[in-house]
Structure 1
Amino acid sequence: MRAIALCSTAGSVLLSALVAAPAGGQPAGAAPARPLFTDSAETRGTAEAARRAAAAGIRFGACTKEEDVPGSLRCGTVTVPLDYAHPGGKQIKLTVSRVKASGKDPHNSKRRVPRKGSLVYNPGGPGASGMYFPLASLLPEWKRIGAAYDLVGYAPRGVGRSAPLSCQDPKRLLKGPSQSPASPSESYKKERIAEAKAYVRGCVRHGGSALRHYTSLNNARDLDVLRAALGERKLTFMGASYGTYFGALYATLFPSHVGRMVFDSAVNPEPDGIWYQNNLDQSVAFERRWTDFRAWVARHDKVYGLGRTSADVLRSYEKARAQLAAEPAGGKVGPAQLQGAFLQTGYYDDYWPSRAQALSAYLKGDPKPLIQQAGPHPEAAADSENGNAVYTAVECNDASWPTDWSVWDRDNTALARVAPFETWDNVWTNLPCAYWPGPRQRPLDVRTAPGELPPTLILAAERDAATPYDGALELHRRLSDSVLVTERDAGTHGIGGGANRCVNGHLDAYLLDGRLPEQGAVCAPHAEPKPLAPGDRKKKASRHPAVR
């Protein structure tokens, strides 16, 4: 799926979502997978690396200028093997950030709160950094948790300064304006195939022999080494989006090392769905969420003037696409840039007012808001390229993908008839995996037996587009003693510590007291955003700093 480089108004890290492999077995035309995964050498290597990390610990100090974080954060590094089968071989350093537990009860300044240990967070990806997460301690929704826990973020392998991976010159991300046809021609498809192959060659050229070690399983192993380096006997972890997937791998590989674990907006861990089929499912879910956005805009037609029905709003959007195809806004924003900006409405409904306002202004003759929201941001190009590179490497290495273009073409041509909004852009994002050098892994079968894993908490919005709700149900089935909390009739991606007090109440109760709700707990949806009239300034989002 396509989900790299989302920008939100509060924070500064990527929160990407996922893609994935057809249900019912290996995809037609796929490269041969390795035999069913066994972890003996890597498990021994992880234990050795964890012992070394526990002895070394992490020396936290001032963060470097390159890390570009506020002074309240402290930074350090943890050393992990590039290849866990050879723990004495090449080592890489992962950057880590921390804000210590405040110990202050936010409701009673005289009361001291006992420290519970470290809470490690991953915001998703692959390719997202959690270095800014500890700043969540400044937000009201996180103050109780930040009082009891050291909040710990980190940049996974390949991300940021953690053995960074690159596949192309970041300046290429700024090229544009560009097209984004909903019904691509055969010549356009050939162009994108050529681009995908060239991108893979760039990844191989830059990554070399290390490229194959960027995997979800290694991300899970790195997490255990980080646990040991922090001096924690048991891991307390919260993962969002892709973070739920390698968090689930961790729970399967190291169940005895788990203390408390939160899965927020869960990826479907079904092995046969990693990653191609998940991608198809995601495109369907984005279409549903795109309809939700248009319906909201239609309800506020008096503000935006884009149409009184969802169909009317779609016609306004398609009118803008056609105009941008003929004459890009500011010479920068074409149909692809428009689609990229409006894709974010599928992730977070706090984007709805500003995107509707920009579309309305553009169609009334003022392109400035649209150029501002959809135009290129040179200052973010290097981070975005790095995130794309890690995303591609991890997902391509994780599983077998169809290697025959006709399979992609057949599946997505059919899907685009019912889900045109995101389908083809999802294809172009993930198509490098069709030409990725092998061998590929067979995805681990995420599963724990009753009593093997401490009780865990799963949070999910019923209309989440990036990680469809069925993924939360599947993860709940596979992790014994897990409890699922559902935000009904809502679609924000990543709901813990956000706008829903009911969800946050369950999160606090679990992390602070170990209390879980009854099975099947349901929270009413958070309030819809209020419309933003032309000339109004967008209000700051309440999302925590792990999300950008």
Structure 2
Amino acid sequence: MSSSYRQPGVVLTDRHFTVPLDHDHPGGESIELYAREVVAAGKDPADLPWLLYLEGGPGFGARRFTGRGAWLGRAVEEYRILLLDQRGTGRSTPANRQTLPLRGTPQQQADYLAHFRADSIVRDCEAIRPGLTGGAPWTVLGQSFGGFCATHYLSTAPEGLATVLITGGLPALTAGADEVYRAAFPRIRRKNEAHYARYPMDVARARSVADYLAEHRPVLPGGLRLTPEAFQSLGLMLGSGDGSHQLHYLLEDPFVLTASGYELSEAFQAGVEAALSFAGHPLYALLHEAIYGQDPAQPTGWAAERVRAGFPEFAADKLLGTDRPLLFTGETVHPWHFETDPVLAPLKETAHLLADRTGWGPLYDPARLAANEVPVAAAVYHDDMYVDTAHSLETARAIRGLRTWVTDEFEHDGLRAGGPRVLDRLLGLVRGEV
């Protein structure tokens, strides 16, 4: 049963769907999906084309907008929008440390989570599309991992697509996890260099925090063990438009003088824990490397950890006590995340089983993409920290008819930070207006 309500300028309707856990066995177990329909106020009775929004991740529910914020204001001018909480996220059937034990053993949990990649997400979309659109194809807007899903959609079910718009999410079609991370660490290093050039005072501040953590290994109020490596994970912030500034503000005053000497301030601890906790998106940690698994014979095997060993400048223990800058890391997940974060620790064995899993199938069909007939446009952000620009441009050349907008005006979050401009530009590209 759906319910509708209003925010400034829009009418929202809650939508609920039941889909198979395994689409190859539709008579088996089912899971629930949640999505929020958004339409401009006054247009809710109109027969509008649908736009499906696929959020980045993996593991994040669709963004919760207020009114006509960010790109949504442009979209509701002509579309009825569906903000889908992809399986396991948001208000869809959850998958986290509280619910996964219901699946049984860690092996059973890992087998369950193997159904949460882009291939299953796209089949979910195709399962719910006919009931919403009357069978008509819809426009898909994919941000980051949502763009990976959209590329899989083009590979497997292009008949369901009227148009595809991708922002910061053109994946490498054949690269495995190791290749993805070998390309990532030099980009992450460049983002660190740019941050320290902008805020040179942060060199000493970050190093002093790392030195303190190496000696004290504090446990933060929410239970997160703040090791030097965990602290380095704050580099995830450096891939967004204002992330460098937010990291600087977090590092401004990390210590406070107490009766026992200098300690990390409670404000700093709260800010760090909010930035590092996986409580709202555990699937990001569990499945992040699996989204790159395409060789049935090869496990991903903690690729980021393995590749990082080839970039010793990121080794925190080798920098302690020196005057060299501490390098923050980026969109990488490591085994120790499942030891330092209390929301991940109960899933440690499940995570290792996923890392060791074989049988991952290819996610993209280069031959079908080369014959593509769906209008596609993609925003590719120059030196995007999260998605390699060279990989994206190689994929753009491999998808017939795809038009790119390469820009250094935005970081990876351009769709959010750029308001209606990014969506407007992509629509102009697919329509031949620019």
Q: Structure 2 length normalisation: TM-score?
A: 0.76
- Aligned to 1:496, which of 399, 415, 425? 415
- Correspondence for 1:414: 310
Assess, with a 3 A threshold, how the Cα gap between structure 1 residues 410 and 494 changes in structure 2: closer, same or farther. Answer: closer
- Correspondence for 1:153: 83
- Correspondence for 1:375: 273
- Aligned to 1:126, which of 50, 58, 74? 58
* Mapping of residues 172-211 of structure 1, within 5 Å: 203-206=106-109, 209-211=111-113
- Aligned to 1:276, which of 144, 155, 178? 178
Give the whole-Å Cα distance in 1 for the aligned partners of 2:238 and 2:218: 23
Give the whole-Å Cα distance in 1 for the aligned partners of 2:45 and 2:240: 33
Write out per-residue CA displacement over residues 84-142 of structure 1, whole angstroms, 9 at most, x where no aligned residue.
223333332211111123357xxxxxxx997641211111112111162xx36522653
Query: Is the 8 Å Cα contact of residues 118 and 149 (structure 2) preserved in structure 1?
Result: yes
* Mapping of residues 127-276 of structure 1, within 5 Å: 127-130=59-62, 132=64, 135=65, 137-139=67-69, 141-166=71-96, 168=97, 203-206=106-109, 209-231=111-133, 232-271=135-174, 273-276=175-178
How big is the shift at 1:502?
5.4
How big is the shift at 1:404?
7.2
Give the whole-Å Cα distance in 2 for the aligned partners of 1:259 and 1:377: 37
- Are 1:102 and 2:37 an aligned pair? no
Query: Is the 8 Å Cα contact of residues 215 and 397 (structure 1) preserved in structure 2?
Result: no
Aligned residue type for 1:338 = F
- Correspondence for 1:61: 3
How big is the shift at 1:484?
0.5
Give the whole-Å Cα distance in 2 for the aligned partners of 1:331 and 1:427: 20
Aligned residue type for 2:60 = A
> 235-244 or 85-94: which moved more?
85-94
Give the whole-Å Cα distance in 1 for the aligned partners of 2:81 and 2:305: 45
Q: Please state whether the residue corresponding to 1:361 is helix, strand or coil.
A: coil
Structure with more relative contact order (C-alpha pairs < 8 Å, separation 6 or more): 1
Unaligned 5+ runs, structure 2: 258-263, 316-326, 339-350
How big is the shift at 1:467?
0.9
Query: Is the 8 Å Cα contact of residues 401 and 434 (structure 1) preserved in structure 2?
Result: no
Assess, with a 3 A threshold, how the Cα gap between structure 1 residues 462 and 165 changes in structure 2: closer, same or farther. Answer: same
Write out per-residue CA displacement over residues 428-461 of structure 1, whole angstroms, 9 at most, x where no aligned residue.
3697367534433234334546663222110121
- Correspondence for 1:485: 405
* Mapping of residues 427-506 of structure 1, within 5 Å: 427-428=334-335, 432=352, 435-448=355-368, 452-488=372-408, 490=409, 492-499=411-418, 503-506=422-425
Q: Percent identity?
A: 17
- Are 1:81 and 2:11 an aligned pair? no
How big is the shift at 1:223?
1.7
Query: Is the 8 Å Cα contact of residues 144 and 168 (structure 2) preserved in structure 1?
Result: yes
Q: Please state whether the residue corresponding to 2:136 is helix, strand or coil.
A: coil
- Aligned to 2:211, which of 311, 319, 322? 322
Give the whole-Å Cα distance in 1 for the aligned partners of 2:91 and 2:136: 27
Assess, with a 3 A threshold, how the Cα gap between structure 1 residues 352 and 329 changes in structure 2: closer, same or farther. Answer: farther
Give the whole-Å Cα distance in 2 for the aligned partners of 1:357 and 1:409: 28
Aligned residue type for 1:102 = A
**RMSD, matched Cα:** 3.8
Query: Is the 8 Å Cα contact of residues 148 and 170 (structure 2) preserved in structure 1?
Result: yes
Assess, with a 3 A threshold, how the Cα gap between structure 1 residues 129 and 395 changes in structure 2: closer, same or farther. Answer: farther
- Correspondence for 1:538: none
Unaligned 5+ runs, structure 1: 1-58, 64-70, 105-111, 171-200, 299-305, 307-312, 518-548
Query: Is the 8 Å Cα contact of residues 71 and 422 (structure 2) preserved in structure 1?
Result: no
Write out per-residue CA displacement over residues 334-366 of structure 1, whole angstroms, 9 at most, x where no aligned residue.
4345323x3233221313333212312126868
Q: Structure 1 length normalisation: TM-score?
A: 0.62
Give the whole-Å Cα distance in 2 for the aligned partners of 1:143 and 1:408: 38
How big is the shift at 1:248?
0.4
Give the whole-Å Cα distance in 1 for the aligned partners of 2:278 and 2:405: 37
Give the whole-Å Cα distance in 2 for the aligned partners of 1:315 and 1:142: 41
- Correspondence for 1:384: 281
Give the whole-Å Cα distance in 1 for the aligned partners of 2:306 and 2:52: 41
Write out per-residue CA displacement over residues 355-401 of structure 1, whole angstroms, 9 at most, x where no aligned residue.
212312126868344223102589x7643335534546656688654
Write out per-residue CA displacement over residues 263-291 of structure 1, whole angstroms, 9 at most, x where no aligned residue.
110242322x1333213322322221122
- Correspondence for 2:321: none
